Amino acid sequence: MEAAISEFNHKPAKGIEYLLSNKLIENNATSVALFLKSNSSLDKVMIGEYLGQHEEFPLAVMHAYVDSMKFLGLKFDTAIREFLKGFRLPGEAQKIDRIMEKFAERYCGDNLGLFKNADTAYVLAYAVIMLNTDAHNPMVWPKMSKSDFVRMNTMSDAEECAPKELLEEIYDSIVKEEIKMKDDFPDAAKTNKHRRETEERGLVNILNLALPRLKSANDTKAENEKIIKQTQALFKNQGQKRGVFHVAQQVELVRPMLEAVGWPLLATFSVTMEEGDSKPRVLLCMEGFRAGIHLTRVLGMDTMRYAFLTSLVRFTFLHAPKEMRGKNVEALRTLLAFADTDMDALQDTWNAALECVSRLDYITSNPSIAATVMQGSNQISRDSVIQSLKELSGKPAEQVFVNSVKLPSDSIVEFFTALCSVSAEELKQTPACVFSLQKLVEISYYNMARIRLVWARIWSVLSQHFIAAGSHHEEKVAMYAIDSLRQLGMKYLERAELNKFTFQNDILKPFVILMRNSHSEKIRGLIVDCIVQLIKSKVGSIKSGWRCVFMIFTAAADDETEYIVESAFENVEQVILEHFDQVVGDCFMDCVNCLIGFANNKCTPRISLKAIALLRICEDRLAEGCIPGGAVKPVDVVAEANFDVTEHYWFPMLAGLSDLTLDSRPEVRHCALEVLFDLLNERGHKFSSPFWESIFHRVLFPIFDHVRHAGRDGLSSGDDWLRDTSIHSLQLICNLFNTFYKEKLDM
């Protein structure tokens, strides 16, 4: 066993393999998880590394490890403290992500109703780790305020936000007492201290959605004054030595010098670029721009960096191809080079940089526009410039998008926001351009492996843009956007979703909005086709996404185009008959509403009758207890005070069938009547007296509303069909009354 522990503390996977091959523990995830929890000789860092792995067996071990913990009744910050006692968070964002997701699922499973869904707990878990790093790490300044922490946990949906009082309580607890994981090997204190500093530095980089923060203007001013005094003292002490050059060891010493000469240098570069075409001078200016942008980024001099970058963008002249010269090509080359060398320097100028890439593609892909480049110059010069532009539109421009994966978490959101803005402008053109829309799909693929917390921020930007693009007046543009949504949805569904999370639902929500708002038959048909493809290829992966699937099919049920209705219903039927247990749980009522919608559709009675039959199947499964919390308890069992099963699950089905008894098609209303009263006769003995009273007033009596009004006004010959239904309904209601009257009277 000691050899196995030693092996684990060096290479966790090898250590577990040694344990299993020598039969020191059972070959299953639960046994390995118990070993990791109970053995105090294991290195906590290595436990964290192993739990964060993505391979099937380590992932199962991590799930078993977290599932073995009990968080019932624990405050959120107490639960995290307890959770992190046994291991250190690993040093990779994806590994931390998997662990925190599972923690959120487990905590919500033990504390039902505390949060609307696990997404809230997941965001809060990350926020707590960030706050802990922020509050107790001297590398981070300024510190996160209580209002910052509350804002970090604010969702677009107010119901999904954690209570403000809870957030403030957690903030006070973490600031007062750091979440610490004790070192396990006292003889390695120095090593552990160094490793801890390295880990904390890594956490700052990983959890950089709000960190690190830029220093305030006052901090910068004070720092500059201190540096100037140090420099003056240095010159004074060394002043007697002539011709001696002193090498500065601190990069901060450059700041006051750059502040003094930066603006004049920028003016010099700009004037030189405007007034001359000398290539050597242009290249020197470009070197100056590169150095200026790099230094201002390193020193946090954002105003000057922005001025250098915007001047460089202006000198590309992509907005005026007729006036382009060789010097403008060099400016563009320099701008694109930052995608390879110093991509994060672009920061708040992404919009301008991406506009340049868009204009470059527009010029090089349109011969008529390319022909206007450098108008009035000799053909050789023009051909040279056009050739240079085509070369830049290839790999150099593509690297802007490929290298987006290298951007830190906060910058990638800015990048997506800027590209959506550029794409929106392209879509306003006539004809519309989809270059940036296509690039959005590509970089979404590149960046989909980012942690969910970051991807959620990206998607909040992307989804709104795809909704706007999917609503475009040009049908081909809208169809391109919707098909792009399908591709992204298909890709994202490859990621497993744990219980009580809802992000799949967020991914598919744009389809719902577009389906409900589109006036185009082709667009609605395409949306249904996209969802059908998603179901057929990812039926085993869809969880919270089923809610949106049923919403889309409900909208299709209200459609007047027969092939849309047919296609949607065929898939609803298949889902219920073949995948009911896997699909219908939290979204049972969405399924019921969908079937009621199809039953009311007037395209063909065949679909309506099938939908009623499927409603009966759903009722049977509900009665059998297949829906969590949906089984009707005997009337003598005390129900939960804040949740009425019959009202939540049963009443919508009964009311839907009641409405169908007034359908103009005889076969539909007769079928609805039979199913309604069969259901009441079969399940009524479990209904309480108050619910029976509700059934009579809200389900059964409304069947006769038409007769009551017609009786007052006089029945016309056109209402003869109603007499049969009314008489049939009256007979069934009398039989029902006779069946349950004595039973309810005894109660």
**Residue numbers annotated as active site:** 92
The phi, psi pair for 529, rounded to 5°, reads -60, -40
d(CA 16, CA 38): 14
> How many residues can be counted in the chain?
747
Of 557, 572, 477, the C-alpha closest to 523 is: 477
d(CA 534, CA 516): 19
d(CA 441, CA 491): 11
Q: Which residues contact 390 (CB under 8 A, 6 or more apart)?
A: 364
d(CA 655, CA 676): 9
Q: Which helix (H) or strand (E) holds 647?
A: none
Q: Which residues contact 268 (CB under 8 A, 6 or more apart)?
A: 288
Beta carbons of 594 and 550 less than 8 angstroms apart: yes
Q: Any idea what DSSP says for residue 161? A: S
Please state the three-class secondary structure of 178-233 as a single string.
CCCCCCCCHHHHHHHHHHHHHHHHHHHHHCCCCCCCCCCHHHHHHHHHHHHHHHHH
Instruction: Please list, residue by residue across 499-537, b when 16 or more beta carbons sit within 10 angstroms of its beta carbon and e when fewer do.
Output: ebbbbbbbbbbbbbbbbeebeeeebbbbbbbbbbebbee
d(CA 571, CA 364): 45
Q: Which residues contact 471 (CB under 8 A, 6 or more apart)?
A: 478, 514, 517, 518
d(CA 630, CA 644): 10
In this structure, the number of other CB atoms found within 10 A of the CB of residue 142 comes to 13
Amino acid at 498: L
Question: Hey, is 451 helix, strand or coil?
Answer: coil
d(CA 468, CA 513): 10
Q: What angle do CA 260, 261, 263 make, to 5 degrees?
A: 100
